[in-house]
Amino acid sequence: MKKIYFITGNKGKILEARNKFSTVDIEIVQKNLGYPEIQADKLEDVAGFGVKHIQERFNEPFILEDAGLFIDVLNGFPGVYSSYVFHTVGCDGVLKLLKGFNDDKRRACFRSVFAYMEPRGKPLFFTGECYGKISTKMLGDHGFGYDPIFIPDSSSKTFAQMETEEKNCFSHRGRSLNKLIEFF
């Protein structure tokens, strides 16, 4: 069985990745090495910088992921700054920013970029998107991050109201992982 290290401290991301990879002969192993997240315009730039940093210290096949929530009425904010915004103002802060906007103004897109790196190779990028809207209140107790306020198109539930397998059918991360699995 091939072993790929997922460079993350996020147990929710590991759970989602292991769920997706359960159908193929690849073991996903969590490795929390930490790496700086640069401020950039694109998720690919953030992931690419992380790959270079990890590559200097780790000589095994690995993946890492950067994701962001892009809200239309806020001109894509928080976007590449999603992690920082989540850790400073959280879901409550985003809901306050959208207070007074009706459903058609609450459109958003979750984006995910996985970078895959083999020793002495070049990084390969796999992207996924999920369109939907921001709810008016937090709902559900599954998942992590912005899951309690994001409702994907074709659903009436937030990601936090879904079990991992159901979320993986809709989510940006599930879609980028599908492309990674197809690559293997």
Residues with catalytic function:
66
Q: Report the half-sphere exposure of 167 (CA within 13 A, side-chain side).
A: 26
CA-nearest of 70, 60, 46, 57 to 125 is 46
CA–CA gap between residue 156 and residue 58 (Å, rounded): 42
Q: Give the separation between CA 100 and CA 19, rounded to whole angstroms.
A: 38
Of residues 184, 139, 168, the one with CA closest to residue 3:
184
Residue whose token pair is 């950067």? 66
